[in-house]
Structure 1
């Protein structure tokens, strides 16, 4: 007997069932295709975020005088978000022609036709708002400096008391776009795992019932070992897949660099894996218990409909949920898998809120495991019409015992 065979004989029954589930699922092409496709999407999304968030807008401003050139230079030094270049041209006609030809985005000049010099910004169409804003600040500062010198006072004296200091009243992040993106990704990953591995667990239970294979299995192993093995096998696959997704995203972010809020994303991703273990484990148990209520594969969808609805609501909250909705959902089991890590990323969750949510999720997981196990034990050998969950919990079916060989 080989070492592997000896190990199989001595390992717990549920572990052998789990290993069988893993072997069967990893042979599925759909699993590998969906996993690779999701990793490609995650890597591509991180790279696209880096490219678009790191792009700098370039503006070319035509000038015909030293004063205008100085104003453009001042505007260029005042920002790193955009790049403002100066194009020195000999006269106004040449500058306006450059704007019309697209060689310059705008033409900055001082127009003294009204008696007092005034700044003009000419463009082909309406000037870009951000360019106009930076240039307006530059020409205002330059004009105030000139006027202060004319009046014989210093600019600091003129500007004394005119400063404006921004103050944050709370620690909430104002990057709503990134908060939405992180929450959406968490919700999408959880939704995909539940659909791929949760429904697979339910279908596997029903297929064994429909083909009567479960009767052969339960003649050799306890029903509890069969249930635990199925849940653990699919749970492990889901955890490995989620870890691969998370690692692909974080490693790509570290490789490309320049991704905003990377530290907060890493921290919230770690919390997501913690909540994911509880949430996904609960979902797998519920799928196995509800799947046992059906006697045919056609009945799986109706048997698992309540759980599917909960998962869909969790996914929808990750897309459109805001404010108090997300706060309340972060304490609701299963929904907290997505919403609490999102609040951690946004900086709106205190430590005691995280701890409370984990305790609630753990207690709910323990309760649902007992309910799912009872439903599975009462329904796995039932044939005919589909049982309701309440009927399965009321049933008092003795657990089948493993068959024992006769003789010595």
Structure 2
């Protein structure tokens, strides 16, 4: 007997069941296609975020006089989110032609006819608001300087007390958009895992019931070993897939650099994996227990409908949840898988809140696992009409006797 076969014979039964689940699931094309597609989307999303968040808008302004060129230069020094540059042209006709041909975004000219002394900004359409704003500030500053000199007045004395210093009472608004994006990604990943591996677990249970394979299996191994193996197999696959998604996103962010709030994203992603272990493990157990209530594959959807509603509600909270809704949901098991890491990213969760949420999730997981295991044991051999959850919990079905001893 080879060493591999010897280890297989001596390994716990639930572990062999889990290994079988992993082998079967990894042969599925749907799993590989969805995983690769999601990795591509994550990498592409991070790159797009880097490109668009770091992009600076550039404007070229045509000028025909040194005064206009100085004005554009002054505006460029004060511009923080755009890039301004001037293009000196010989006359007004050449400047207008450059704007019409798209070689310049606007044409800045001083109309000094008949003593008007008025600046004009001409564009092919309506001038961009940010371009107009920066040039207007530069024109106003230069004009006041010139007028003050002509009147013999000191410009600093005229402008004393006119400064407006911006302040900020709450910095959370700066990352509001990122907070929404991070929460949405967490919710989407959790929703996809539940749909892919949770529903697969439920369908696997029903298929074995419908084909009566489960009767053969339970004649050889304990019910608990079969349940634990199925849940562990799908749970491990879900964890591995989530780790791949997280690694793809973080490594891409580190590679491209310049992604805002990267430190907060890394910290919240770590907490998401911690909460995901509890939340996804709970969901897998519930899918197995509720799936055993159905006797036909057609009844799986109705049997798992309550759990599907909870998973969908968690996903919806990640999309539309705000303020107090997210705060309350961060203490609600399963929903906390998404909302508490989102609060960690936003910086609104104290350390004791994270611990309390984890403790509640762990207690809920222990309770629901017991309920799911009892429902599974009571209904896995039930045939005929779909069994209700309450009836399965009240049932007192004896454990099928294995033909050979096997440890959990």
The corresponding residue for 2:278 is: 278
Q: 1:93: Cα distance to partner?
A: 2.8
Contact 1:63 1:69 in 2 (8 A): yes
Deviations 1:65-108 (A, max 9, x none): 22211111111122342221101122223222322232211111
The corresponding residue for 2:331 is: 331
Q: How does 1:367-378 map to 2 (within 5 A)?
A: 367-378=367-378
The corresponding residue for 1:108 is: 108
Give the secondary structure class of the aligned counterpart of 1:62.
strand
The corresponding residue for 1:321 is: 321
The corresponding residue for 2:133 is: 133
Q: Is 1:250 matched up with 2:266? A: no
Contact 2:327 2:339 in 1 (8 A): yes
Looking at structure 2, the residues matched to 26 and 299 of structure 1 have their Cα atoms a distance apart, in angstroms, of: 26
Give the secondary structure class of the aligned counterpart of 1:120.
strand
Looking at structure 2, the residues matched to 129 and 175 of structure 1 have their Cα atoms a distance apart, in angstroms, of: 24
CA-atom RMSD in angstroms = 1.6
User: Which piece of structure 1 moves more, 14-23 or 83-92?
Assistant: 83-92
Contact 2:62 2:108 in 1 (8 A): yes
Q: 1:155: Cα distance to partner?
A: 3.4
Runs of 4+ in 1 over 6 A off after TM superposition: none
Q: CA 1:311 to 1:120, structure 2 compared with 1: closer, same or farther past 3 Å?
A: same
Give the secondary structure class of the aligned counterpart of 2:237.
helix
Deviations 1:295-346 (A, max 9, x none): 1111111100110111111111111222222222111111111111112212
Give the secondary structure class of the aligned counterpart of 2:115.
coil
User: Which piece of structure 1 moves more, 312-321 or 372-381?
Assistant: 312-321
Looking at structure 1, the residues matched to 170 and 199 of structure 2 have their Cα atoms a distance apart, in angstroms, of: 42
The corresponding residue for 2:63 is: 63
Give the secondary structure class of the aligned counterpart of 1:174.
helix
Listed as ranges, the gaps of 5+ residues in structure 2 are none
Listed as ranges, the gaps of 5+ residues in structure 1 are none
Looking at structure 2, the residues matched to 88 and 314 of structure 1 have their Cα atoms a distance apart, in angstroms, of: 59
Give the secondary structure class of the aligned counterpart of 2:166.
coil
User: Which piece of structure 1 moves more, 45-54 or 149-158?
Assistant: 149-158
The corresponding residue for 1:229 is: 229
Give the secondary structure class of the aligned counterpart of 1:172.
helix
Contact 1:171 1:347 in 2 (8 A): no
The corresponding residue for 2:29 is: 29
Q: How does 1:187-336 map to 2 (within 5 A)?
A: 187-336=187-336
Contact 2:220 2:402 in 1 (8 A): yes
Q: CA 1:363 to 1:114, structure 2 compared with 1: closer, same or farther past 3 Å?
A: farther
TM-score relative to the length of structure 2:
0.95
Contact 1:173 1:346 in 2 (8 A): no
Deviations 1:253-303 (A, max 9, x none): 111112122111111111111111111001000000000000111111110
Give the secondary structure class of the aligned counterpart of 1:68.
helix
Contact 2:221 2:404 in 1 (8 A): no
Looking at structure 2, the residues matched to 253 and 155 of structure 1 have their Cα atoms a distance apart, in angstroms, of: 48
Q: CA 1:6 to 1:114, structure 2 compared with 1: closer, same or farther past 3 Å?
A: farther
Looking at structure 2, the residues matched to 331 and 261 of structure 1 have their Cα atoms a distance apart, in angstroms, of: 25
The corresponding residue for 1:124 is: 124
Q: 1:372: Cα distance to partner?
A: 0.5
TM-score relative to the length of structure 1:
0.95
Contact 2:224 2:377 in 1 (8 A): yes
Q: 1:404: Cα distance to partner?
A: 3.7
Q: 1:171: Cα distance to partner?
A: 4.5
Contact 2:235 2:280 in 1 (8 A): yes
User: Which piece of structure 1 moves more, 103-112 or 301-310?
Assistant: 103-112
User: Which piece of structure 1 moves more, 308-317 or 152-161?
Assistant: 152-161
Give the secondary structure class of the aligned counterpart of 1:175.
helix
Q: CA 1:357 to 1:168, structure 2 compared with 1: closer, same or farther past 3 Å?
A: farther
Q: CA 1:151 to 1:358, structure 2 compared with 1: closer, same or farther past 3 Å?
A: farther
